[in-house]
Amino acid sequence: MSVSTLTYVYGVTWASTRVPDDVDVIEHGGLAAVTMPVDRRHLRAKRRDLLRHADVVQRVFEHAPVVPLQFGAVLDDVVEELLEPRRDELAALLTEFDGLAELTVRATFREDDVLRTMLHEQPQLARLRETASPVQLGEAVARALAARRDAEAEEIVRALRRHVRSTAVDELRTELDVFRGAFLVERKRLERVDAEVERLARAHAATTSYKLTGPLPPHHFVRLAEAA
């Protein structure tokens, strides 16, 4: 029976970091790659495997900074391909992101609530329901919704900017998405960001649902995709 020599890499941390018992560690030059053996190079991104990848990186992050790799990073020789040639880069990233965490913010319109609010706040839309064709009404509502979305998304970024190191805005997925993004935050300022998001959620409670997740490893801000 053949033994796999391929290694899946979740991320890289300091060699002194405590890692979960259900993964392996390959150390070199003061660094530790958090790994597991695999029997094939190309892995399908099944939901359970994506969740496990995120869970392992998160558990390492609870003890020390970590440079997360994208899902599917499979190497023949972790030392020769990653830890040795990129030792200085990895060490610099671990130092740079020490004490920092990622918070993700999702804001989503509740369809019935936002439409009801817009019709109340903009009487011209209500009048169009009686005078315009369905196509004209739909276009007018879409324009009003887009303007409201842009204004609220800008408000989110503006309100949080003074509390964070960096911002990464994700692409919206549906017409009801208001904001999807991540913020790089000093751990000592996490409570301030949490309070600011709570304030925004209260201010827009009539139309919008907010979700704050974190602290997380800085997935949006540091990763070695090309190492896979």
Rounded CA separation 111/134 (Å): 18
- pLDDT for 64 beyond 70: yes
For 97, residues 6+ apart whose C-beta sits below 8 A from its C-beta are: 65, 67, 218, 221, 222
- Nearest 5°: CA angle at 225, between 183 and 29? 95
Nearest-10 Cα torsion for 143, 146, 148, 152: -170
Task: Name the residue among 182, 200, 162 with its Cα closest to residue 104.
Answer: 182
The whole-number pLDDT of residue 228 equals: 41
Residue 19 predicted with pLDDT over 60: yes
pLDDT average, residue stretch 202-209: 98
In the chain, the amino acid numbered 124 is: Q
Q: Is 226 buried (19+), middle (13-18) or exposed (0-12) by CB count in 10 A?
A: exposed
- The domain 100-216 having CATH identifier 3.30.70: the answer here is yes
Q: pLDDT category, 185, cuts 50, 70, 90? A: very high
Number of Cβ atoms within 10 Å of the Cβ of 22: 10
**Is the pLDDT confidence value at 226 over 60?**
no
86-136 tens-digit pLDDT: 999 999 999 999 999 999 999 999 999 999 999 888 888 878 777 778 788
Per domain, the residue ranges of the chain are 6-98, 100-216
Q: What is the model's pLDDT at position 5?
A: 80
Q: What percent of the chain has pLDDT over 90?
A: 80
